[in-house]
Chain A
């Protein structure tokens, strides 16, 4: 017996509308098949956070172009120097200041060194520094910020006062001083940047941990007897990994910039090794006569920075949709 029929027994007074319903014959209603009724059921296996992020990232054309460019540059940096017949420090007095040709794709410099090979070595240096600085600062930032945010109270206060003081010291002056002290090697560049760049990551991790630590699953973990370390590194940090990765990704281009900047000023990588900054710097005196010497390294560094910034923007939109512009 349908609803309208029940009403029509007189338990409830009928309105015109109800009457209209009641007049519909039962034959007008058909039973749905079971499968069609289960529209709420999850039809496909659910996606993990990372799969979801990857599918968003994949739909961002600029980010994908950036990723492609970086992969190409990385491959060139790794295998390129082996394929060329020239070495980064091989001087050839007979072929000084040659323009680009089939022999020397990017031309040669004032010592007759092949600029193409030097630029590929520069890519090695730049990418190594970018990735290494990001990795080192990820570790320091996560540990410092995680402990500070999770423990809170006096520990947090002391740790954050230290950060407040450190953050005011201008990075670059500090790095230049350290470079003068440590000497011009890749290791000292890494060390100098590792002493300064973690601060931003640490602050970010701290604020993430603070927002997450009052969630129920943390309480649940504590109730089942998890140690503080376990809660921090098994629950809180993995759950804040998205924003952490975004922050760290943007460290890569800034580390590459800083290295190039230092090399441009003459306190980065030492001759005969060449980074992109050194190459641009070496080309300034011959800018009027051999402009191509500057052009290729300048393009290489700019394209890399573009690509890395696109990847960073894409990752930010993919991993942390709340931040989307």
Chain B
């Protein structure tokens, strides 16, 4: 176990290193990028001075790379190109709490709804609740998140005029963004939950519990769920990444001042240093959450063979 954790830890560190290296050299090679020669950069003079001071742009490439690694190790992700007095760290401290709040609500909703759909489907196998949940799941897997979000915006804002279309000023404002983020994950969780529940319900210990006269709801929620839930843990890693993708879409469509919107406007403004900083931040965030999920899974499921 300890060996596994150490191994995964070093793999994660290496992954981060690879990510940072790739981003650095790609950004270096981008024409008009943050590190290209001064005459190619259309950047405010004040920013350029800061950049030169920070990264030593006149130094050789290797030195710049080491400087860059050093500044990331100190938690400094650089400065924006377009807004000369904004650092990426400020963008993150402003945007991340907003994104995290919407994202967390979406995670909770996705887990609850997805698991309920999956369980219903499994215990009513072949009957109409099963069909209904699986139709919902198929829709969620097939329709891309941005199409789904735009469709919901159209339906609930344009046609029914029930919900507001942008901002986050009341609980009503959260409904559509959270739904847009959670829809895809709900579908995956429901499918995962259904198959894992069906698998568990076939086990002998469930038969034993029933034979002992344990009420059905207790068989399902106490005996079966405990084991059936384990595969869901493996989905938590991809879930974080899925929410990230979703946040690019949802925050852009609903003008939510989160980190996803900053990233997307960074892309359309070609604000390379913001993209660079946010990619490193988001990448590290995902790598760390994957690491935690892997460890969690190994702890929860003692049947996992760690040594392959």
Contact = CB atoms under 8 A, between A and B. Distances in A.
Contacts of B252: 265
Given A280-B146, A288-B158, A180 B287 contact: no
Contact of A302 (B142, B248, B272): B142
Interface stretch (B16-24, B81-89, B171-179): B16-24
Nearest to A171: B241
Given A170-B241, A305-B144, A266 B158 contact: no
A301 interface: yes
Interface string A85-104: 00000000000000000000
Interface in B260-308: 264, 267-268, 270, 272, 275, 279, 282-283, 286-287, 290
Interface stretch (A32-40, A111-119, A142-150, A256-264): A256-264
Contact of A301 (B144, B244, B282): B144
A180 B30 contact: yes
Contacts of B22: 169, 174, 177
Contacts of A291: 154, 158
Nearest to A263: B146
Contacts of B253: 284
A306 B138 contact: yes
Interface string B7-42: 000011011001100110011011000000000000
Contacts of B282: 170, 173
Contacts of A133: none
B30 A287 contact: no
Given A173-B279, A181-B30, A294-B150, A165 B142 contact: no
B143 interface: yes
B142 A305 contact: yes
A265 B147 contact: no
A277 B146 contact: yes
Given A177-B26, A287-B150, A306 B142 contact: yes
A60 to B, nearest CB: 14
A294 B195 contact: no
A298 interface: yes
A172 B264 CA distance: 13
B151 interface: yes
Interface in B85-107: none
B237 to A, nearest CB: 10
Interface string A280-293: 10011001100100
A267 interface: yes
Q: Bin chain A's interface residue count.
A: 35 or more
B71 interface: no
A117 to B, nearest CB: 20
A305 B187 CA distance: 14
Q: From B15, B18, B26, B144, name the one whose CB has the most chain A CB atoms within 10 angstroms.
A: B144
Contacts of A287: 150, 153-154, 158
Nearest to A303: B142
A168 B15 contact: yes
A288 to B, nearest CB: 6
Interface of A: 161, 164-166, 168-174, 176-178, 180-181, 253, 257, 260-261, 264-267, 277, 280, 283-284, 287-288, 291, 294-295, 298, 301-302, 305-306, 309, 325
Interface of B: 11-12, 14-15, 18-19, 22-23, 26-27, 29-30, 138, 141-147, 150-151, 153-154, 158, 195, 198, 241, 244-245, 248-249, 252-253, 264, 267-268, 270, 272, 275, 279, 282-283, 286-287, 290
Q: Which 7 A-B pairs have the closest CB atoms?
A: A168-B15, A305-B142, A306-B142, A302-B143, A298-B147, A170-B286, A181-B26
5 contacts: A168-B290, A177-B279, A180-B267, A266-B267, A291-B154
